[in-house]
Each structure stands twice: as C-alpha cells, then as structure tokens.
Amino acid sequence: MIPLSTPLPALSRRDLLQGVGATAALGLLPRLSRANTQTQEPQMQPKAFVYTEVQISIPFNDAPWQQINESLLVQPGFLNKTWLSGLGTGSLGGFYAFDSLENAQAFVTGYFPGEARNFGVAHNTRVFDAEAVAEASAPLNSPYFGGSTTARPGAFVYTELQVNVPFAEAPWRERNPALLQTPGLLAKTWLSGVNTNTLGGFDAFDTVESAKAFAIDAFPKVAAAMNCAFYTRVFDASVTEEASRQLHSPYFA
C-alpha cells in the first residue's frame, strides 16, 4: 500500500482524463478480478440506485436500524440496501438498489423524507440510472452486475462530479483500466445522475486507509483535470455489516 506521504508522479491533464491515474503511473498490479458466479443464486439486476445521507451524528450501534430495516423491506421495488456510517462524522446513510426508476423516485419523494423527519434533521438523496452503467460497472467487479468478492469491505467511498455528461459519452472505457489498479479497491459501481447526468461511483475498499487515499489524494486530481467541483464521502463498512446483511446487501452476502 502506498503511504499517504509518498509523492505522486506529475501527471498531465490528458493523462487524467484518459484514466491514467496516479496508481497506473506507479505501475501497480490490478487488484480486481471477476469472480466465478455460476454457483451463486441469480439476482435481479437493479434499474435504479439511490444514495441517502442524514445530517446526524450518532454511533451506528445506537441507531434504530432494526426498526428501519423492517420498514424498508416492504417498500415497493426495494431490492437491497447497504447501510453507511460516516467516517469521523457518524452520519447515517445508505446505498439502495430498486427494480425500477419509478419506485426509486417514489422512495426519495415519499418514504425517505419522513424517515429523516423522524430524526428532526435535514437529509440528502440522489437517484441514479443503473441500466446506463451496467456495461461499465461489470468489469470493475460491481456486485450489482455479476461481480463477487470473498473479502469483506473495510470502507465505502461515494463520489460525484459536478458535470453534465450523458453516460454514453463518458470516458469510462479509458478510466476503467486505471481504476482496476487502484490500491485496495474491491468493487466499483459507476453512477449516472437521473435528470442531471452527473458522474460518480460507489466503491468498496479493503481498508479505511485505502479508501481515504482514493478520496483524499487520487479522486481530486480527476476532478481537477475535468475542471469541476466534486463530492466525496468515506464510510466505515465494519460497523454496518449486520444491518446491511438483513437488507440483502450484495457486499455482505
């Protein structure tokens, strides 16, 4: 693993836009591989993803996740959820898969605002087109599109770039080879914002240290090369496994 203090090679704007990130420049070997899924039960591929985060600070074990899980399991079109606990903030959130865009939109406009209201706090929600990113995410071991890993994630990273790029025009084919060499990356799911065409990702890492290196050091260089603002969040995966497993999270199957 690369220490955070290790200087990175100078990279050109062209290199970053083409996906030759710092990890590729260092000649790191790929960490991801497509697993043999023939023995796994087939799962419905999602049509939409939802990201949520509630503006609260609470140790995850003190959150009423058991009661919330019961409500989530009966939401129309709900497929699965991975709980998120903000690293250093204690915020509560989640990454969800739905069977249709319509059900995902109904969730963020109907059910979820009430959940945040129960906490008496503001919240953040995003809806993403899962069908648009299936081809790009599959080679990156995304568990939503056939990927699998025996390693338990130590952290999750959410990223979003403030751009308007239809995903069909996004340079994901150029970016994927460099992403495959990202230290500690277990799986990545590309994200394409509904109605906004923002570009982003939901990534699983082996450790918190690997996740922070990506969010703090590597990803800002990509945003700078695209001349855009960005949003990154790091979550501690170790504390949410039990809660996520109850909601069929593909990361803890």
Convert the pLDDT of each residue in 56-88 to its tens digit. Answer: 999 999 999 999 999 999 999 999 999 999 999
224: in domain: yes
Do 189 and 71 share a structural domain? Answer: no
- Using the structure block, give the residue that is written with the tokens 């308007």: 164
Do 125 and 68 share a structural domain? Answer: yes
Residue 5 CB: number of other CB atoms within 10 A? 5
Do 248 and 215 share a structural domain? Answer: no
15: in domain: no
Residue type, 41: E
Do 135 and 125 share a structural domain? Answer: no
Query: Domain limits at 151?
Result: 131-236
Find the CATH number of the domain harbouring 106.
Answer: 3.30.70.100
Could you give phi then psi for residue 14, rounded to 5 degrees?
-65, -40
Do 111 and 97 share a structural domain? Answer: yes
Residue 39 CB: number of other CB atoms within 10 A? 7
What's the domain count of the chain? Answer: 2
101: in domain: yes
Residue pair 161/200 in contact (Cβ under 8 Å)? The answer is yes
Greater confidence, 96 or 36?
Answer: 96
DSSP secondary structure, 26-63, as one string: TTPPP-------TTSPP-PPPSEEEEEEES----GGGS
Structure tokens at 173: 């084919």
Residue 253 has a pLDDT of 82
How many alpha carbons fall within 13 Å on the CB side of residue 101?
10
- Using the structure block, give the residue that is written with the tokens 């500690």: 184
Per-residue pLDDT band at 43 (split at 50, 70, 90):
low
105: in domain: yes
Q: pLDDT tens for residues 187-208?
A: 999 999 999 999 999 999 999 9
pLDDT of 33 over the 80 cut = no
Do 122 and 73 share a structural domain? Answer: yes
185: in domain: yes
CA dist., res. 47 & res. 97, Å (int) = 8
Q: pLDDT tens for residues 96-138?
A: 999 999 999 999 999 999 999 999 999 999 999 999 999 999 9
Do 138 and 120 share a structural domain? Answer: no
Do 227 and 137 share a structural domain? Answer: yes
Do 80 and 59 share a structural domain? Answer: yes
pLDDT of 155 over the 80 cut = yes
Residue pair 125/56 in contact (Cβ under 8 Å)? The answer is no
25: in domain: no
162: in domain: yes
Do 160 and 91 share a structural domain? Answer: no
Do 84 and 202 share a structural domain? Answer: no
pTM for the whole thing? 0.85
Do 245 and 157 share a structural domain? Answer: no
182: in domain: yes
Q: What is the mean pLDDT of residues 205-228?
A: 97
